[in-house]
Amino acid sequence: MSNVNYNNKTVSDENVKTVLQRVADQLKGDVNVFSGDRSAVPKGGSKTSHHLQGRAADFSVTGYTLQNVFANLKSKKSDIFDSVKKYQVIHHGSHTATGGAHIHIGRYASGSGVSFLIEGLTAKTKGIYTSD
Amino acid sequence: MSRLKILLIACVVLSACTHIRAMTSHRYFPLKQGNAWVYDIKLDGKPSGHILQVLVSDVVNESSGQVFVVSEIDESLEPHKRHDQPTTYQSRNTGIFCQESGAYVLPSSLANCQTWQAGPLNTAGMNRVISVDANLEAAGQYFEGCLVVERKEPQFNRRIEFTFASEVGLLRSRFFKLSDSGVTLPYREEILIEFGHLTPPRFLRPPN
Asked if residue B129 belongs to a domain, the reply is yes
Contact A127 B188 (CB under 8 A): no
C-alpha distances in Å from residue A50, one per residue of B35, B147, B168, B201 = 24, 29, 28, 25
In-domain check, residue B161: yes
B161 to chain A: nearest residue by CA?
A45
Instruction: Identify the pLDDT of residue B59.
Output: 97
Give, to the nearest 10 degrees, the angle between helix A66-75 and helix A14-27.
Answer: 100
Confidence (pLDDT) at B201: 95
Is it true that the peptide bond before B200 is cis, omega within 30 degrees of 0? yes
Q: Could you tell me if residue B5 is inside a domain? A: no
A99, pLDDT greater than 50? yes
Would the pLDDT of A69 be above 60?
A: yes
Looking at the domain assignment, is residue B84 inside a domain? yes
> Is 90 exceeded by the pLDDT of residue A71?
yes
pLDDT at res. B15: 47
- For chain B, which ranges sit under pLDDT 70? 1-23, 122, 182-183
8 Å CB contact of A56 and B85: yes
Closest by CA to B73, choosing from A34, A46, A80, is A46
Domain that holds residue B125: 21-197
Instruction: Centre a 10 Å sphere on the Cβ of residue B114 and count the other Cβ atoms it contains.
Output: 17
Residue B21: per-residue pLDDT? 47
State residue B23's pLDDT score.
45
Q: Which of B84, B100, B101, B152 to mutate to test the interface with A (most CBs of A within 10 A)?
A: B84
Q: What is the DSSP code (8-state) at residue B14?
A: H
In contact, A56 and B85? CB cutoff 8 Å: yes
Residue B13 belongs to some domain of the structure: no
ipTM of the complex as predicted: 0.90
Question: Are B76 and A43 within 8 A, CB to CB?
Answer: yes
Q: What structural domains does chain A harbor?
A: 4-39+49-131 (3.30.1380)
Which residues of chain A make contact with B84, given a CB cutoff of 8 A?
49, 51, 58, 90, 92, 96, 98-99, 102, 104
Q: Tell me whether residue B15 is in a domain.
A: no
Q: How many CB pairs under 8 A join A and B?
A: 115
Overall average pLDDT of the A101-112 stretch:
94
Domains: count for chain B:
1
SS3 state at A77:
helix
Chain A residues whose beta carbon lies within 8 Å of the beta carbon of residue B203: 127-128
**Per-residue pLDDT tens over the stretch A43-56:** 555 567 888 889 99
Return d(Cα B72, Cα B89) in angstroms, integer. Answer: 13
Other Cβ atoms closer than 10 A to B32: 11
Whether residue B177 is contained in a domain is answered as yes
Amino acid A59: pLDDT:
96
Would the CB atoms of B83 and A51 count as touching at under 8 Å?
yes
Query: What CATH number does the domain containing B185 carry?
Result: 2.40.360
Give mean pLDDT, residues A74-84: 95
pLDDT, residue A55, reads 93
In a domain, B26, yes or no: yes
Q: In sequence order, what are the residues at sequence separation of 6 or more whose Cβ sits closer than 8 angstroms to the Cβ of residue B63?
A: A112, A113
**How far, in Å, CA of A57 to CA of A39, rounded?**
14
